[in-house]
Amino acid sequence: MATALVVLAAGKGTRMKSDRPKVLHEVAGAPMLVHALRAGAAISPARTIVVTGHGAEAVATAASAWDPQVELAHQAEQLGTGHAVDQCRAALAEFDGDVIVLYGDTPFIRPETLAAMQAARATHDIVVLGFEAADPGRYGRLRMDGQSLEAIVEFKDASDREKAITLCNSGVIAADAATLFSLLEAVGNDNASGEYYLTDVVGLARARGLSATVVTCDEAETLGVDSPAALVRANAVYQDRARAELIAAGVTLLAPETVHLSFDTAIGPDSLLEPNLVFGPGVTIENGATIRAFSHLEGCHVARGAVIGPYARLRPGAELSEDTRIGNFVEIKNAQIHAGAKVNHLTYIGDAELGEGTNVGAGTVTCNYDGVFKHRTTIGRNVFVGSDTMLVAPVTLGDDSMTASGTVVTEDVPDGALALGRSRQVNKAGLARRMFEKLKAMKARRDKDSQ
The residues annotated with a catalytic role in the active site are: 345
CB 326, CB 311: distance < 8 Å: no
What's the Rg (C-alpha) of the chain? 31
Residue type, 264: D
Q: What span, in angstroms and rounded, lies between the C-alpha atoms of 376 and 365?
A: 12
Q: What span, in angstroms and rounded, lies between the C-alpha atoms of 50 and 75?
A: 10
3-state SS, the chain, equals CCEEEEEEECCCCHHHCCCCCHHHCEECCEEHHHHHHHHHHCCCCCEEEEEEECEHHHHHHHHHHHCCCCEEEECCCCCCHHHHHHCCCCCCCCCCCEEEEEECCCCCCCHHHHHHHHHHCCCCCEEEEEEECCCCCCCCEEEEECCEEEEEECHHHCCHHHHCCCEEEEEEEEEEHHHHHHHHHCCCCCCCCCCCCCCHHHHHHHHCCCCEEEEECCHHHHCCCCCHHHHHHHHHHHHHHHHHHHHHCCCEECCHHHEECCCCCEECCCCEECCCEEECCCCEECCCCEECCCCEECCCEECCCCEECCCCEECCCCEECCCCEEEEEEEEEEEEECCCCEEEEEEEEEEEEECCCCEECCCCEEECECCCCECCEEECCCCEECCCCEEECCEEECCCCEECCCCEECCCECCCCEECCCCCCCCCCCHHHHHHHHHHHHHHHHHHHHC
Q: Which residues of 300-322 are buried (b: 16+ CB within 10 A; e: fewer)?
A: bbbbebbbbbbbbbbbebbbbbb
